[in-house]
Chain A
Amino acid sequence: MRRLLRYYRQFDELSPEEVSRDLLERRDEERRRHPLGLPPLDLSGAAWHGPPHAEVINAATFALRRAVNAYPDAARLRAAIAAAHGIDPARVTVGHGAGELIRAALRAVATDSVEIVWPGWGLLPQLVDEAGATPVPVVSPSGERTAVVCRPNDPTGAVPEIAGGEHWLIVDEALAGFADEPGVLDHPRVIQVRSFSKVHAMAGLRVGYAIVPEGGPDLAPVLGVGAPALAGALWAVENGADAARRRRAQADAQRARLAAEFPVADGVGPYAWLALPVADELAARRIYVAPGAAWGDERHVRVTLFDDAATDRLLEALREL
């Protein structure tokens, strides 16, 4: 009888208290292993740290519950983007995020070598390489070959002046929402690429757009972008300005706090380019930042700006160094 009961007791469930006890023990163990008692703070990521506006999720969910058996139609989103910029919808291409559009643009217009204004977005050299060209780091485009420039710059936050030339210029404006609206360059050799990942916090939906000159290359993905991403992006274009402004203000405020005490490059955007080689020291305090070595610069680190609590902790750690 006892054997029989023992067999069935295998299938007995833990009570909620017992489940919680297990979790609490795991937490205590985690604290024992990290005597500082602080949770890790990852300030090395590239995406916005918070969720998008709830209505973006609502719009995407609504799209999911409709006809996802049909192919998506980006016409409404293109029209909305075109209206926001005052351009012809035919010039707008919607793609799977700025990265994919830059990749497509490089494949379409790369010359034998492509200039990259450096430091810049970390994946650019790889994308140029994939396009069969040789990446050449420059301070500013020479106008002698295809060039890529980030405006605002990732990681420094600088907003460079740009002008079209004889060769193609790809402008990575993934962080444009954090700067004063730079406007559309009406130039037959300029492609501007923007993202919903940063200021609209929609990195997980993978959607962005390119503004291509008339007669420019076709950068659109085959059969388009998913319906939930299109719906979320449409809401962001039509109604997301306030939320974007709040995120920009939040990033600006955290940058100002950091810059008040430590050497931070002038600029805008969700990153601070800090002139202190402190990645290892911060990591020892469980604060992780992107080391400048990723850009070939050992003297800087890139700090992704979060909120007051994260900046408090970062400042405290930096003061102790």
Chain B
Amino acid sequence: MPRNDPTDTGGLFVGRRPGTGPVHLRGTPERGGERRRRADGVLAFLLLVCETLLCLSVWGLQPLAWLWIGSQADYRLGSHMGGIVVAFAGILASLFITLSLCSRLDRMWKMVRRAAGHEQRDGALPRIFGASAVIALVAFGVWFLVIQGPAPSMSA
């Protein structure tokens, strides 16, 4: 369905709906040939994979790494609270850094997609981040409820 389809708004529309305006590029780009566009398509895909892996790491690898670092801090400082604070602050800091990195990658992805000949209006980051969160939640649920099983106190 075209983005300016009037039925999309329930019929009556005045002017342009938000988010349907043309993309204003910085100039009139000189596009590459067919091979260049195909290569750009592959590059865009790789960028998307990177984004996805980074987003997934927010829910798995990074918290695990910070929990390990937190445990080291706990041992060296001799303080449980110190370990918890280090792990918590670390998780938050790495989350923001990862999102900033993903945002730059997403902007790059949009440019490469346009170079590959697509009319790329929006980035993929919100969808990837949301999907990765759902995947992580489901994976955690499977691990927690099925693989790991109920806690010893509950199973007793």
Show the binding face of A for B, using Cβ within 8 Å. Answer: 7-14, 18-19, 22, 57-58, 61-62, 65
Who on chain B is nearest to A62 by CB? Answer: B11
Taking a contact as CB atoms closer than 8 A, the residue among A7, A14, A22 that contacts B115 in the complex is A7
A8, B108: Cβ atoms under 8 Å? yes
Can you name 9 A-B pairs with beta carbons within 8 Å?
A8-B111, A9-B26, A11-B25, A11-B29, A11-B111, A11-B114, A13-B110, A19-B24, A65-B11
Asked if B78 is at the interface of the complex by the 8 Å CB criterion, the answer is: no
1/0 contact string of B119-151 vs chain A (CB within 8 Å):
000000000000000000000000000000000
Contact B26–A10 (Cβ < 8 Å)? yes
Q: A57-B12, A61-B11 are in contact. Are A14 and B25 (CB under 8 A)?
A: yes
CB-CB nearest in chain B for A54: B12
In terms of DSSP, what is the predominant structure of the interface of chain A? helix
Q: Please tell me the number of chain B residues within 8 Å of chain A, measured between CB atoms.
A: 19
Q: A62–B11 Cα gap in the complex (Å)? A: 7
| Alpha-carbon gap, A22 to B25, bound state (A) | 12
Q: For A58, what are the chain B residues with a Cβ–Cβ distance below 8 Å?
A: 11-12
Q: Nearest Cβ in chain B — how far from A68, in angstroms?
A: 13
Q: Which residues of B contact A18 (CB under 8 A)?
A: 24
Can you name the residue of chain B whose Cβ is closest to the Cβ of A51?
B14
A7 to B11, CA, bound (A): 41
Give chain A residues whose Cβ lies under 8 Å from the Cβ of B30: 10
Closest residue of B by beta carbon distance from A19? B24
Is B60 engaged at the interface, CB distance under 8 Å to the other chain? no
CB <8 Å contact, B11 and A10: no
Q: Which residues of B contact A62 (CB under 8 A)?
A: 11
CA distance A18 to B29 in the complex (A): 18
